[in-house]
Chains A and B, each alone.
Chain A
């Protein structure tokens, strides 16, 4: 089946630095990718919807200047957490929408655990 690769799986960084997370669709083209954030014992919260070649659409309350999303190709989207602070520590998950599929065919990466010291 379709596979989405998310990298890195975990990262520890110092406060004030930036961290980039990559999400790749390995065997299909994804015109749309989604970025989620999950706090312990809470839901996956949608942060933004990323469409290839256009600006991402951010959910209410998500700072677009802090969470930079780039979707430059049909197989790669990146999320950059800029000037990270401890409150940005969380589990980040991407998903990719299969170009050939219906609305419901979403494939998920295995997530990135970010810890900001």
Chain B
């Protein structure tokens, strides 16, 4: 079946630091890939997505590129802010359902 392996947290960074959260997947066919974010006390929100190989999803300064050759979809941001503190989930859509990674808790300190 499909699976997503995500970098374990928690991750703590200083403001303006560079962020990478690794995500790799195993799937049959050609899944769509996503990053969701969950801010404290809120539901999951779609952060960005990519639907085919070499696509780059981007939003709010975050980027992730769909790499079929390495089955990866790493999340990056060049300069994080305190407001980016949240839990981030990598996910794939395949077989009519979303499969999630374990989530990575990110804390940004001023």
List residues of chain A with CB under 8 Å of any chain B CB: 4, 6, 34, 36, 41-44, 46, 49, 93, 95, 103-104, 106-111
Contact = CB atoms under 8 A, between A and B. Distances in A.
A44 B89 contact: yes
B41 A110 contact: yes
Nearest to A110: B43
Given A43-B4, A43-B103, A44-B89, A106 B43 contact: no
A43 B98 CA distance: 11
Contacts of B89: 44
A69 B75 CA distance: 35
A43 B100 CA distance: 6
A109 B41 CA distance: 10
Contacts of A103: 32, 93, 96
Contact of B98 (A34, A41, A111): A34
Contacts, number: 46
Contacts of A106: 46, 98
Interface in B82-110: 89, 93, 96-103
Interface string B37-53: 00001111110010100
Given A34-B97, A43-B4, A103-B32, A108 B102 contact: no
B59 to A, nearest CB: 13
Given A44-B100, A46-B97, A109 B34 contact: no
Interface of B: 4, 32, 34, 36, 41-46, 49, 51, 89, 93, 96-103
Given A44-B89, A46-B99, 14 more contacts: A6-B43, A41-B102, A42-B102, A43-B4, A43-B102, A43-B103, A46-B97, A103-B96, A104-B93, A106-B98, A107-B43, A108-B36, A108-B45, A111-B43
A44 B87 CA distance: 12
